[in-house]
Amino acid sequence: MSAPEPDWPRLPKPAFGDPCNSCGLCCLSGQCPISLGAFGEQAVCPALRPDGEQMRCGLMLEPAVYLGTPAWSDGPLREAIKLMLASGVGCDAGRDFDEAASARMMRDARERVAIASLEAKLMFNLFTERREVPLG
Ligand code: SF4
Ligand code: SF4
């Protein structure tokens, strides 16, 4: 795994709340809680992967490679990591904090968790042929 080159980030960070362009500035500025839990304190997160002009989260792409977990668990782990990182709600890093954008991203993140929770309960009921987990 090659370490990020010193001239990162190569893409300008979007405005707070705008869609993430994977510039990587947030990860280069410091490890996220998941990275700290998985790797302990490091100079740069070992899962940060350069990809052209962008930076990717290897932990989200290939959890098994970094966590030593079985490959079959990559799908659910990936989804769990996405939820924990609130991936897809927008850029929540930088000094241009915006209260309205932050509130919107929090709402989006909560909705995603609620939907994932409902999906998990449906799957549980389906696979166990039970109807014991309330869907509400
Ligand atoms: S969240 Fe923001 S700073 Fe982090 S990679 Fe995405 S656009 Fe860049
Ligand atoms: S685990 Fe992923 S999101 Fe967290 S610091 Fe590392 S590359 Fe960034």
Which atom of ligand 1 lies closest to the CA of 14? 7
- Alpha-carbon distance of 21 to 25, in angstroms, equals 10
Q: Is the CB of 67 inside a 6 Å radius of any atom of ligand 2?
A: no
Query: What are the beta bridge partners of residue 49?
Result: 56
Q: Cis peptide leading into 63, omega within 30 of 0? A: no
Residue 99 has pLDDT above 80, yes or no: yes
Q: Is the CB of 57 under 6 A from ligand 2?
A: yes
- Residue 21, Cβ density class (10 Å: 0-12 exposed, 13-18 middle, ≥19 buried): middle
Q: How far apart are CA 126 and CA 41, in angstroms?
A: 41
Contact 20 CB / ligand 2 (< 6 Å):
no
Q: Is 32 in the pocket of ligand 2 (CB under 6 A)?
A: yes
Give the pLDDT mean for 109-120: 93
pLDDT tens digits, one per residue of 29-77: 999 999 999 999 999 999 999 999 999 999 999 999 999 999 999 999 9
Model confidence band, residue 132 (pLDDT cutoffs 50, 70, 90): low
What percent of the chain stands above pLDDT 90?
Answer: 79
Residue nearest to atom 1 of ligand 1 (CA): 91
Residue 134 has pLDDT above 80, yes or no: no
